[in-house]
Amino acid sequence: FFEIFNEPVLQSWLHDIRPYEQDIVKVIRKRTNNLIICGTRLWSQEVDVASEHPLEGSLNVAYTLHFYAASHREGLRQKARAALGSGVVLFVTEWGTCSADGDGDVDLHEARLWLNFLAEHNISDANWAVGDKDEACSALVAGASEEGGWASKAGRHTVLTSSGRFARESLRAFAEGRDEKVIADGASQPCRTSLLWVFIAAAMLAWTLGRPRLSH
């Protein structure tokens, strides 16, 4: 797929972002009908504003929503509901378990609420980040091997951070057809959650391809 504008900030949706993305969509459509994901205003949060004036020719076009669980809560989900109610398709191309700066406290409770929300509305997502940088959003502890092999012989996955364990267990639950959520120590308890998390891009990004329904 194509994500054509990463995190616009204060530009106008109507006068700046939308016209630019409309032009890019026209160029891409000359060559392929693959999914195009359009960035939205204010670090890809104002999906409700974009949904009021969507791009023309919206076949296989989605609008991106970014969230970090410790910073973005029900207020942002309300924006997402408004956008969905307007008939647009959303794709969460970046989310984290921590604060919006990629660090700070990990909020797994709020992350569960978000994942349940995404599952409820069939919204695909991409978790940030598969890396060993010393910050809360990293899935790996500092110094983890870039060649993988992250499971210890005892199966305790000691190279995974709390965020990494949460994402890993969410992936495994989805892949194995289990209904469960992850608690802070990596164990699980019953709850409906759906996430498919794929490690890509040389330990920098994971994306989820498990929730289709992106065309309308």
Predicted TM-score (pTM) of the model is: 0.79
Who's near 154: CB < 8 A, 6+ residues apart?
none
Mean pLDDT of the chain: 82
Q: H/E element holding 2?
A: strand 2-3
Query: What pLDDT digit, counting tens, does each position of 32-42 carry?
Result: 999 999 999 99
Mean pLDDT is lowest, of 2-6, 47-51, 154-158, 203-207, for 203-207
Task: Give the residue numbers annotated as catalytic, written as ranges.
Answer: 7, 94
The answer to whether 186 and 165 have CB atoms below 8 angstroms apart is: yes
| Mean pLDDT in residue range 54-63 | 90
Instruction: Round to whole Å and give the CA distance between 124 and 210.
Output: 7
Q: What is the pLDDT of residue 36?
A: 97
Q: What is the pLDDT of residue 207?
A: 32
pLDDT at 79 over 60: yes
Q: What is the pLDDT of residue 59?
A: 86
**Residue where the block lists tokens 């983890």:** 144
